[in-house]
Structure 1
Amino acid sequence: MRKQQLDRLNTFFLSTITLGVFALVATFLIYILVKGAPALSWEFLTSVSKAFEEGGGIGIQLFNSLYIMILTLLICIPISLGAGIYLAEYAKDTRTTRFFRMAIEVMSSLPSIVIGLFGYLLFVVKFDFGFSVIAGAFSLSLLNLSFLTRMVEDAIRSVDEAQRDGGLALGLGRFETIMKIVVPSAIPGIVTGVVLVAGRVFGEAAALIFSAGQSAPALDFTVWNPMNPASPLNIFRPAETLAVHIWKLNSEGLMPDGPLVAAGAGAVLVIIILLFNTLAKVLGNLLEKRLSR
């Protein structure tokens, strides 16, 4: 009886904590969405000509966030995929390997502001990229490489050893077995990691303040020549992202209706992050069901 009572007490205690956390998160999300709802409109999402005027939109900042996210993923995915495959399939359990794994874990826990300062010194100053899209993409790649590498390694390690043995029994080499059997089986976990990294990149602010910059120059969306300074695809132009825009509105107060615009931008950012996390879960489940048939 005492064990049953203790079990009920522990269950009640844990349930209360879970409900409390859920209520806290739900209250936060509802507050952000309700406060930002009055500012949301199609013009608000697409306007690119009224950066700091009353009723200004977030079209440029939204595009900058998407552009930097795509460039960051293009840098991170090949490197993380190669590093994750090596650590999971080829690396032996030596002192050097353990050191690299510890370094990856340390990198995963570094504050983004530290990565931003490092990116500023290396990419903005040393490589003379200036505050630019490419400097921001490289800085965010440093921030997320370790996280995505661990996700890829864990996804590959979760593949049943019998599948590797089956590939080798069919006469496939080790590399062919990894690329044709192991990696496809690990795709659900890899895709989940990629989508989560995309969400992290989209919502990042601290690292981009010191690398991509805090200004959003006027862009001509009819010019798609990457070498043109007014082109949206120019990687050497400053690029204020949505998260940085929110911080700037609340810290400088240059826009007459800045609090309302910041609330609307915050609501858009929260919605997009929720979509990224939902997409990661849905894609992971769909791919797992499809590949397990």
Structure 2
Amino acid sequence: MSAFTPSRKNRRSLFWDRFATVCFYGLGAVIMLFIFWLLFTILSRGLPWITPQFLVKLPEEIDAGGGIGPMLFNSFYVLFLSLLISLPIGVGAGIYMAEYAPKNKFTEVLRICVESLASVPSIVFGLLGLAIFAEYFGIGLTILGGAVSLAFLNLPMLARVTEEAIRAVPNDLRNAAFALGTTKYQSIRTVVIPVAMNAIITGVCLVAGRAFGESAVILLTAGLSTSGAMWDFNLFSPGETLAVHLWYVQSEAIVEDARQIADMSAAVLVFIVLLINLVFRVPLWFNNRKVKR
């Protein structure tokens, strides 16, 4: 037998390696096909009939031809407010847990608590927001309550994603920065965070998409109605969002074109979530270009 002839064991290993490769590629192809089919089905039913008037018009309760203007504005407004609250706190907490927190039982318990909160159903945060804003403070169902409750929902995931991204940065980079005479804060700001930025922005992207399409939290804290104005920046106004409106139109609306409005609303919702992912990818592209240079 030639020295280059594979043994029986090696042939079996080679067979299973190729078999596993084919299976994983096939599984990935099936998942991609399912995602494309799902997106095509939702977008094809709604996008061809969407008009600029539909995006800015007020909704109708009885007559056909209503729009989604206030709900679309509330969706972006609540998303902006929730990120404004959750980003500094969540990213800061992740940096603290990865770089400054001492390694003891308290921080381990704290980390377990954060991981547990990240997996809590969103309706629990909605009930918490309802208890705090509607019952304790007595301000009712408002945009402020919805935004803060969404921030509560996003904080655990942001903190965990940031912590894991910071921990994934090699220690050699930190040591090199310290060797150049930088302080700990300077090394984090100029070395660690730029290297971990891709993973952090990916986490922010996931959080933003989840917040934009969230309905349970908004339904319990911001309500099922709007003030009736297209551009209402009042934090104490009711804040029905597009996701909540989609649920309402699909389940309880009595207008004759409710099904068409639901299809168009679903298409707008999916399209904007895809657009949010694309917008958050732009900083990643610029960051990758800087790293390559």
The TM-score, its normalising length taken from structure 2, stands at 0.90
The C-alpha deviation readout for 1:131-161, integer Å capped at 9, x for no partner, is 0001001111111101111122122223332
User: What does residue 199 of structure 1 align with?
Assistant: 209
- Structure 1 residues 160, 52: CA separation in 2 closer, same or farther (over 3 Å shift)? farther
- Structure 1 residues 28, 169: CA separation in 2 closer, same or farther (over 3 Å shift)? same
Which stretch shows the higher mean deviation, 191-200 or 283-292? 283-292
State the distance in 2 between where 1:220 and 1:12 align. Answer: 53
- The Cα of 1:51 is off from its aligned counterpart by 6.1
Equivalent of residue 173 in structure 1, options 163, 180, 183? 183
2:9 counterpart of 1:21: no
State the distance in 2 between where 1:162 and 1:2 align. Answer: 40
User: What does residue 260 of structure 2 align with?
Assistant: 260
User: What does residue 240 of structure 1 align with?
Assistant: 240
2:21 counterpart of 1:11: yes
- The Cα of 1:114 is off from its aligned counterpart by 1.4
Q: How does 1:121-270 map to 2 (within 5 A)?
A: 121-219=131-229, 221=231, 232-270=232-270
Whether contact under 8 Å (1:188, 1:285) holds in the other structure is no
State the distance in 1 between where 2:177 and 2:15 align. Answer: 52
Aligned-partner residue type, residue 151 of structure 1: V
State the distance in 1 between where 2:276 and 2:122 align. Answer: 20
Which stretch shows the higher mean deviation, 117-126 or 4-13? 4-13
- Structure 1 residues 7, 52: CA separation in 2 closer, same or farther (over 3 Å shift)? farther
- Structure 1 residues 102, 204: CA separation in 2 closer, same or farther (over 3 Å shift)? same
Whether contact under 8 Å (2:69, 2:230) holds in the other structure is no
State the distance in 1 between where 2:250 and 2:43 align. Answer: 17
Whether contact under 8 Å (2:59, 2:68) holds in the other structure is no
2:221 counterpart SS class: coil
User: What does residue 224 of structure 1 align with?
Assistant: none
Pairs aligned (count): 283
User: What does residue 277 of structure 2 align with?
Assistant: 277
Which stretch shows the higher mean deviation, 31-40 or 101-110? 31-40
Whether contact under 8 Å (1:196, 1:276) holds in the other structure is no
The TM-score, its normalising length taken from structure 1, stands at 0.90
State the distance in 2 between where 1:174 and 1:284 align. Answer: 25
State the distance in 2 between where 1:281 and 1:208 align. Answer: 27
- The Cα of 1:251 is off from its aligned counterpart by 1.2
Aligned-partner residue type, residue 248 of structure 2: K
Aligned-partner residue type, residue 145 of structure 1: L
Structure 1 unaligned residues grouped into runs of 5+: 222-231
Whether contact under 8 Å (1:48, 1:57) holds in the other structure is yes
2:138 counterpart SS class: coil
Structure 2 unaligned residues grouped into runs of 5+: 1-10
Whether contact under 8 Å (2:61, 2:254) holds in the other structure is no
- After TM superposition, the runs of 4+ consecutive aligned structure 1 residues lying more than 6 A away are none
State the distance in 2 between where 1:50 and 1:163 align. Answer: 59
State the distance in 1 between where 2:30 and 2:148 align. Answer: 39
- The structure having more radius of gyration, on CA atoms, is 2
- The Cα of 1:95 is off from its aligned counterpart by 1.1
- The Cα of 1:72 is off from its aligned counterpart by 0.3
The C-alpha deviation readout for 1:139-184, integer Å capped at 9, x for no partner, is 1111110111112212222333233223322333222332333233
- Structure 1 residues 279, 11: CA separation in 2 closer, same or farther (over 3 Å shift)? same
What percent identity do the matched residue pairs reach? 40
1:48 counterpart SS class: coil
Whether contact under 8 Å (2:126, 2:149) holds in the other structure is yes
User: What does residue 5 of structure 2 align with?
Assistant: none
Cα RMSD (Å) of the superposition? 1.9
Which stretch shows the higher mean deviation, 71-80 or 192-201? 192-201
Aligned-partner residue type, residue 25 of structure 1: I
